[in-house]
Structure 1
């Protein structure tokens, strides 16, 4: 198939590093796979990912807001209607009248290398839009069929509107397409559309916020495995997972959980004592809860093939060593059988140093790929952290 894969980077908690990860992962994948087209979709209303890719214009004005307000690069439909070349422009058009036959979806895309020559030429962006949240209110009305729509099943069609876009791009002859979708923390219609467009989920988490309740809520939102309370169970037919099942909308599977290590600094966070970070036994208990969910609902996790487990580390190893990454073997077609907690952790969980988060944020703000360690003006510690993050990105790409 021309569509190599589609990944949503999602967590229902803000500040988990979704945008940073999407930015760097897309760039790293594009550099390592120059024969493939990399599509990046910004489905977060803040549009930070698009700001990182496109930056400012020659006069120092924010490019993304000008695209969204039709001041830059508008799309002209039927010679008279102007549409923003953003994700909001596409969704508004699609949910109102469908995608006209004379509209090539590639018209909405920006080649990011034209805005920053440090970026690879095979990365294309469906630009974010700060109007996405406002548009979501209208799309919710259309999806619930309280207004006239051109669709027999508006809930299914609108929920899969971005999936249609991705597949239409992938249908182009000669294209091998890989898609990365940045998402919003709020579980609104934009997030639901983003998740419905992806086949797999990469889930960034942090040890500082690791708690069983967080995973329990996450699993309940997307898959309905458990509810925080049974008091409102009679409303479950309004939930996303229930409606998706009812309308035949495919839900993505969890491919990889990226766990950022807890910060080693002791700076308190907004009135919260720094000693409130979870203890080692609490973190271990949380991972056992996730493993228990896996044993009961394996169909929610991506089944990895063409891979073999790395040798089991000794019991004296550190967490990052104990749950090491797998190695790839392209000479076998056997599906991986995971029967133990340790095997689950090595297969689905990757640990990343917290220090690399600072490096990745600086690169995003400077509209640059992760090339900072080549700059002799940076400190040895900074260069070391950048190299560590670059290695982590390589490991993630190897597992995609």
Structure 2
């Protein structure tokens, strides 16, 4: 049976991707406590890892440094470092050495989550990985070998996990391609601005080669190289319109952009149904309101919404009050998202 491996990604920053991923993944784990979940943070900033390990107020940064300081380095960068000496063969790497259990650092995180943490080393490793991917070796598709590094990791551990979730940064650099190649579903968070509309178009161009500006790019595009290497492309699973509170209301100019995003997605449903897992806008598009103060407190403290209690909390040395109704409303929305990840 194929393990569902879902990546949260958009090539535009500022869409709230990591905050959505944190709340959705932890809620999914909370709702499915019998399921074993692997979280992979393929981002140099490692924000998702820091949230899982405690957030600002829960020593998440210090805990992340401890994880990065282990021997071997218990991060995605540590695993990639182990691949560099023999990049085109997996060998016998003890993948479990690179994993941590966030609940051992942050008691609010469900115990069925295991983490391959993010690492700033990714930026330093990217040049070496790209060079290795473009080497010319007769009989070896070097690009496929490099972008399969996380697929190798998952293959080695797939019997241990029921679901895999990955957070990747907005770039489409080599390490993002490695993450994309290891996924079979993509969640695309967007906002109600025109740059987000273009970001959806760009995402489908980068992943699937749709509407390329010139055919000269076709031979180098991700989809072509995946096809040549007989690797399956992930399918778009959800488009999440995030932080839409300020865009609500029929008179809002932003509603026109939200509607245009729907038209673009509807066009993909009709013209490229093989690239998506859903058959209608109702199935594949979800709206999430802005998390507001509830989100600020939750992320500062590395707290899933289901574990957040009303009252005053310390955030950055200040006392911030959160309302029980806000917590309930935010949790209801995130539960809807989490249920669509099954």
TM-score by length of 1: 0.75
Q: 1:110 to 1:381 in 2, by over 3 A?
A: closer
Residues 264-283 of structure 1 mapped to structure 2, 5 A cutoff: 264=246, 278-283=253-258
State the match for 1:18 in structure 2.
Answer: 17
Q: In the aligned structure 1, how far is the partner of 2:253 from the partner of 2:219?
A: 35
2:75–2:117 Cα contact (<8 Å) kept: yes
Q: In the aligned structure 2, how far is the partner of 1:152 from the partner of 1:284?
A: 46
Deviations 1:70-119 (A, max 9, x none): xx3212xxxxxxxx121011122224324432x33122110111101122
Q: In the aligned structure 2, how far is the partner of 1:211 from the partner of 1:100?
A: 42
1:210–1:278 Cα contact (<8 Å) kept: no
Q: 1:297 aligns with which of 264, 272, 277?
A: 272
2:99–2:114 Cα contact (<8 Å) kept: yes
1:350 to 2:341 alignment: no
Deviations 1:133-157 (A, max 9, x none): 11011000111115x89x9322112
1:371 CA displacement: 4.2
Secondary structure, counterpart of 1:116 in structure 2: coil
1:386 CA displacement: 2.0
Q: In the aligned structure 2, how far is the partner of 1:258 from the partner of 1:59?
A: 30
Q: In the aligned structure 1, how far is the partner of 2:91 from the partner of 2:57?
A: 31
Q: 1:206 aligns with which of 188, 191, 214?
A: 191
1:357 CA displacement: 5.1
1:287 CA displacement: 1.2
Q: 1:373 to 1:50 in 2, by over 3 A?
A: closer
How many residues in Structure 1 have an aligned counterpart in Structure 2? 328
Higher RCO (CA 8 Å, separation ≥ 6 residues): 2
2:40–2:117 Cα contact (<8 Å) kept: yes
Q: In the aligned structure 2, how far is the partner of 1:59 from the partner of 1:26?
A: 20
1:4–1:178 Cα contact (<8 Å) kept: yes
Q: 1:185 aligns with which of 170, 182, 196?
A: 170
Of 38-47 and 50-59, the range deviating more from structure 2: 50-59
Q: 2:205 aligns with which of 205, 220, 225?
A: 220
Q: 1:380 to 1:217 in 2, by over 3 A?
A: same
State the match for 1:363 in structure 2.
Answer: 298
1:16–1:206 Cα contact (<8 Å) kept: yes
Deviations 1:346-374 (A, max 9, x none): 110011112x2542343122122224652
Pick the structure with greater CA Rg: 1
Q: 1:65 to 1:59 in 2, by over 3 A?
A: closer
State the match for 1:138 in structure 2.
Answer: 128
State the match for 1:100 in structure 2.
Answer: 91
State the match for 2:259 in structure 1.
Answer: 284
Q: 1:381 to 1:85 in 2, by over 3 A?
A: closer
TM-score by length of 2: 0.87
Secondary structure, counterpart of 1:128 in structure 2: coil
2:52–2:60 Cα contact (<8 Å) kept: no
1:115 to 2:114 alignment: no
* More helix as a share of residues: 2
Secondary structure, counterpart of 1:96 in structure 2: coil
Deviations 1:122-177 (A, max 9, x none): 1111011011011011000111115x89x932211211110221222112xxx442
Q: In the aligned structure 2, how far is the partner of 1:291 from the partner of 1:374?
A: 39
Alpha-carbon RMSD: 2.7
1:236–1:242 Cα contact (<8 Å) kept: yes
1:389 to 2:330 alignment: yes
Structure 2, unmatched stretches of 5+, are 314-319
1:189 CA displacement: 0.7
